[in-house]
Amino acid sequence: MKGARVLVAGAGGDLAPAFLEALVRRGAEPILVGRNAEALTERAERFGARSYVADLADPLSTEALAEAVGPVDGVINLAGAFAAAPVRSTDPALYRRMIDANLSSLFFLARAFLPALAKRRGFLLGVAAAAGWHRGGRNLGAYAAAKAGVLALLGAIRVEEPRVRVLALVPMAAIDTPGNRRAMPDADPAGWIRPEALAAAALDAIGLEGGRVFELPVYPPGA
């Protein structure tokens, strides 16, 4: 990982700091991408990194991003969104937001950067979810469909791009982020997954010698 140029999409989100810290500790150069310019600027200064504002669900935006960034050794897509609603009452706009934020972002990001990743024998990491792993969940139709799509998309890329290490990271419980603590104030975070644990597990799996990990489910302590 030392000296690797790694693009981190969704770098303004709650999960990103743990990954950025882990990358820097391992000697990588993170490149920050997201939609929140203010958050990106703060984190770029904190980690001594460059940042780019882009709409990852827009193929023209991701193509322009790839041209501006140049060759990279890895892409980590942390972009995503969550919402819960029964299928029969899910607003079409909410459905499209779940698909765009969780699946389209990964698709167009991969499409733009795969040529460089293949040339440099790099890696691509996407984040799925327990709802996608189990193919569903009450009130999670749109979200589960998007996350199951993440697993299917990464599986297709793994077959098509043998020179690229592909990893599907699957948190099997809620992640202990500030946003989740605000959204679920009565829940016990002792049963949640620490972002630092996710980042360490993911980077260890990517750097595995003598084999490859594709789907990596990560459980909370005691599970």
- Residue 15 banded pLDDT, cuts 50, 70, 90: very high
Q: What angle do CA 99, 150, 133 make, to 5 degrees?
A: 110
Q: Where are the beta strands (DSSP E) in the chain?
A: 5-9, 29-34, 50-53, 74-77, 123-127, 165-171, 215-218
Tell me what pLDDT residue 109 has: 97
Position 194, amino acid: R
- Residue 204 banded pLDDT, cuts 50, 70, 90: very high
**pLDDT digits 0-9 by tens, 80-138:** 888 889 999 999 999 999 999 999 999 999 999 999 999 999 999 999 998 888 877 88
Among 107, 193, 87, which Cα is nearest to 152's?
A: 107
Residue 195 near residue 15, CB atoms below 8 Å: yes
Instruction: State pTM to two decimals.
Output: 0.94
End-to-end CA distance of the chain: 30
CA distances from 7 to 19, 106, 132, 186, 222 (A): 11, 13, 24, 35, 33
CA distances from 47 to 12, 44, 71, 93 (A): 13, 5, 20, 35
Superfamily name and number for 5-218: NAD(P)-binding Rossmann-like Domain (3.40.50.720)
**pLDDT digits 0-9 by tens, 28-47:** 999 999 988 888 999 999 99
Paired tokens of 44:
């770029």
**pLDDT above 90 coverage of the chain, percent:** 76
All structural domains of the chain with their residue ranges? 5-218
Identify the weakest region by mean pLDDT among 23-27, 123-127, 158-162, 190-194.
190-194
Q: What is the DSSP string of 14-40?
A: TTHHHHHHHHHHTT-EEEEEES-HHHH
**C-alpha to C-alpha distance for 151 and 103, rounded to whole angstroms:** 9
The length of the chain, given as a count of residues: 223
**pLDDT above 70 coverage of the chain, percent:** 100
CA distances from 3 to 21, 29, 144 (A): 15, 6, 36
